[in-house]
Amino acid sequence: MFGRLGSAVVKHPVVTLVTWIVAAILIMALSPSLNTEADQGEFLPSKYESVQAMKVAEQAFPQKEDTSALIVVKRTDGAPLTEDDVAKVTAVAGALPKPPSVTGILTGPQAVAPNKAIQIISVPMQGQDQTAQTQQSDAVKKIREALPGQLKGSGLEAKVGGDVAGFVDNEDSFNKSFAIVGIATAVLIIVLILLIFRAPLAALLPIVVIVFTIGVANGLVGAASHLFGYSGDDSLGIIISIVLFGIGADYYLFLMFRYRELLRAGDDSKTAMITAVEKVGEVISSAAAAVAAAFLVLLLATFGVFTAWGPSLAIAVVTMAVTSLTVFPALVSLLGTAVFWPSKAWKTQPEAKLSRGLGDFIGKRPIAAVIGSLVVLVALALGAPSFKADYDFQAGFPQDTESAQATKDLQKGFPPGLTTPVQIYLKSKNGQALTQAQLDEFSAKAKSVPGVGAVQPAVPGQKTQAIARVDLLLKNNPVSNESITLVKGPLREAVHAAAPQGVTVYVGGNTAIFADINNVNNRDLSVILPVAALLIALILALQLRSLVAPLYLVPAVLLGFAATIGAAVYIFQGAEGKEGLVFQLPIMIYLFVLAIGTDYNILITARLREEAKEGHAPRKAASLAVQHGGPTIMAAGVLLAGTFAVLGLAPVSILQQLGFGVAVGIMLSAFVMAVFLVPGITALLGNKAWWPGHGGDPTSPAAPEKELVS
């Protein structure tokens, strides 16, 4: 099948390219944009209490704030606020601009800290869509512009903090980060491929094709989101780009290394490309199928973000696979050997001492290769059980911004939980109005709930008196692991126990949402990992015609997943002393290491089978597979790991952790598992690795060892 595909593409490259360009333009022009949601709580199933709390809030507070800014005012000399100061702050609040989306600007004596160190001006805002977020950002900027003039000569200073202000301050960090990462990724791919082939055209070709493929994939994903009615989050587009740059560069190298190998063996340019597509087509299609299947398993997740990622990433991967087997061969067939200009290295056999030496070692000492690999992987995997999730996004951003400084000032007078209170909704079971006695009873009990620093006065519902809200201010950072664990267990239990007779209590707010997300993540990973493993095993069994090979390939991939998380734990929780790792890290490692890392196992196993079919004994086949396939895998591994490692250049902790974790995982997949562990085990098992098929049966008599080609 792939021979016929290669022949059709190579014989009709112009038709192939014109068809692809027309299709790409139509898809990008006509497809709608992906549906997106900004609120993490929107992705939780309705059975979770934090979601139920949101529903109750909607019944009673139709004008409720969706977010807020907090203006923190203090004296410039650090002295306690006087009555005149409080009066001045109250007057300033009344004079501040009130742009669209701002529902009020609130302060007064009640907003003064007990120790009089600071006074708060609350700026509640409405809206969660893109337009509202833009208006909220503009509102923060206008308020910041107005404050210095209003406070001039008063001996007071103010800083604007809160969620919206944090977004404004950190947006530049994110934009700069992604600009740096995008440029660095493109430069890295170009430089590495330039070093491999020493040819400018060969280095630029994948960048151009991958960029167009990303546009096509985004169009298809947008159409699918509207057709099937799902929404993603703002990060999905970035993830699709990273995935396609990674696997696109990998598939390009798979094809080009085999093409160059055939040229060196004496084939003409067109014959070499047709044969390369035939040989590599099965590997790329199997790898893409395994990755797409692993992504589609995310449909089993209960967290809405992941269920949107699944089909979107699967569509993107399949699109890249089609591009790799049609567009790349068509372009290279038009260019011929000029793609390697000005280098002439494609004409000669290199010494390739490294891959030859590795192959010889594995062929002669497979037990040592297997044991050494397992020692490395198991040692790293032992750190995985210590993984702790971190939901404090703000702590990962630069701490010299105005919003970060406002948070620090805020904590001089109020509990840390003021910025993100735990919102308790009380609802009368009989639909009658809640009495003041019931609210007072609950508030009194809530003061003694573990971890609660203060209890705000009850706020009656705007639409019904049968519902009221009581905000609990936590003593510790409300998005810390400690607070999330508290809300997930002891606080919820204590609050429910404190409910007055005839009243139902719902625990809501961001801390409660993160607590439920934590539960959902744990549940989803426990379902996704085994199902993905079974699907990958099935695909490997079909591709290799073997039931034995998947029995060691899949556990190897799962061990690599655990080792990657363990490595991140050792570095960030151990060496750097962080409270935890970004909570998305396990699912990101699942996406990029377990799924994409399978490519390398498929490539080396296909090469092992190919060498066995040529009549080589198992250990010799392992040696030759590493010699011939190792350079491709190592080059692809370095390239893919490098694209993630550049995230370390970003001044944002979340991106640094993701970059490090995925880069380490890819390197383990490529260098430890694909080069040492899998060939070593296959060499030890011999032809049993291909049972019950005949993948290891020679199709020709044993051939003399051929020259190493890389």
What is the C-alpha to C-alpha distance for residues 638 and 150, in angstroms, rounded to an integer?
56
Residue 310's closest CA among 525, 591, 537? Answer: 591
Average model confidence (pLDDT) across the chain: 85
- Please name the residue that has the structure tokens 């742009």: 99
Q: How far apart (Å, rounded) are the C-alpha atoms in residues 623 and 358? A: 8
Q: 37: helix, coil or strand? A: coil
445-499 confidence digits (pLDDT tens)? 999 998 998 898 888 887 888 899 999 999 888 888 888 889 988 999 999 999 9
Neighbours of 243 (CB within 10 A): 25
Banded pLDDT at 703 (limits 50, 70, 90): very low
69-91: per-residue pLDDT in tens? Answer: 889 999 999 899 999 999 999 99
642-681 tens-digit pLDDT: 877 877 777 677 778 888 888 899 999 999 999 999 999 9
How far is Cα 607 from Cα 544, in angstroms, rounded to an integer? 11
Predicted pLDDT at 63: 61
d(CA 655, CA 662): 11
Which of 182-186, 285-289, 291-295, 507-511 has the weakest average pLDDT? 182-186
pLDDT for 594? 74
* Residues 242-259 pLDDT 10s: 788 888 888 998 899 899
Which of the four pLDDT bands, split at 50, 70 and 90, describes residue 396? low
Mean pLDDT of 366-389: 94
Q: Which residues contact 217 (CB under 8 A, 6 or more apart)?
A: 240, 244, 315, 316, 319, 320
Average pLDDT over residues 40-69: 77
Beta bridge mates, 452: 474
Proportion of the chain in helix, strand, coil states, percent, rounded to 5: 70, 10, 25
Question: Which of 563, 551, 641 lies closest to 601 in space, CA to CA?
Answer: 551
What is the longest distance spanned by two Cα atoms in the chain?
Answer: 99
The pLDDT, as a whole number, for residue 252 is 92
> Rounded to the nearest 5 degrees, what angle is found at the Cα of 53, between the Cα atoms of 50 and 57?
140
User: Which residue in 542, 548, 588 sits closest to 564, CA to CA?
Assistant: 588
Q: Give residue 329's pLDDT band: very low, low, confident or very high (50, 70, 90).
A: very high
pLDDT at res. 397 = 67
370's tokens: 């297997």
**Residue 506: helix, strand or coil by DSSP?**
strand
- For residue 11, the tally of other CB atoms under 10 A from its CB is 12
Report d(CA 262, CA 260) in Å as an integer. Answer: 5
Residue 623 has pLDDT above 50, yes or no: yes
Mean pLDDT of 343-349: 79
The more confident residue out of 183 and 276 is 276
Give which of 15, 603, 639, 596 is closest to 327, Cα–Cα: 15
Q: Please report, in angstroms and rounded to a whole number, the separation of the first and last CA atoms in the chain.
A: 26
- Under the banding of pLDDT at 50, 70 and 90, the label for residue 407 is confident
CA distance 643 to 187: 10
* Segment among 160-174, 202-216, 240-254 with least mean pLDDT: 160-174
Q: What integer pLDDT is reported at residue 31 of this predicted model?
A: 82
For range 679-697, the mean pLDDT: 81
Mean pLDDT of the region 361-366: 92
Q: Could you tell me which of 707, 679, 706 has the C-alpha nearest to residue 358?
A: 679
CA distance 367 to 342: 43
Domains of the chain with bracketed CATH = 1-30+198-295+303-348 (1.20.1640.10), 65-169 (3.30.70), 351-401+557-710 (1.20.1640.10)
Distances (CA, A) of 629 to 14, 40, 366: 31, 43, 17
What are φ and ψ of residue 102, in 5° steps?
Answer: -85, 120
Q: pLDDT at residue 220 above 60?
A: yes
Q: What share of the chain has pLDDT > 70, as a percent?
A: 92
How does pLDDT run across 282-294, given as a tens digit for each residue?
A: 889 988 888 888 8
Q: Which residue has the higher pLDDT, 574 or 419?
A: 574
Q: How far is CA 399 from CA 77, 260, 575, 653, 657, in A?
A: 22, 51, 21, 11, 18
Burial of 324 from C-beta contacts in 10 A (0-12 / 13-18 / 19+): buried
The phi, psi pair for 119, rounded to 5°, reads -130, 145
Residue 707 — very low, low, confident or very high, per pLDDT cuts 50/70/90?
very low
The pTM (predicted TM-score) of the whole model is: 0.76
Which residues of 322-464 form beta strands (DSSP E)?
389-390, 422-428, 452-455, 459-460
Task: Tell me which of 660 and 168 has the higher pLDDT.
Answer: 660
* pLDDT tens-digit readout, 101-112: 888 888 888 889
Residues 379 and 654 sit within 8 Å (Cβ to Cβ):
no
- Can you name the residues that pair with 123 across neighbouring β-strands? 69
CA–CA dist 366, 357 (Å, integer) = 13
Q: Is 651 helix (H, G, I), strand (E, B) or coil?
A: coil
> Taking residues 138-165, what's their average pLDDT?
88
Distance CA 629, CA 96 (A): 67
Q: What does the pLDDT look like over 430-439, one tens digit per residue?
A: 888 899 999 9
Residue 195 or residue 382, greater confidence: 382
Between the ranges 174-178, 266-270, 702-706, where is the mean pLDDT highest? 266-270
Q: Which two tokens stand for residue 281?
A: 């087509």
What 3-state class would DSSP assign to 70? strand
> Which amino acid belongs to residue 343?
S
pLDDT value for 708 = 36
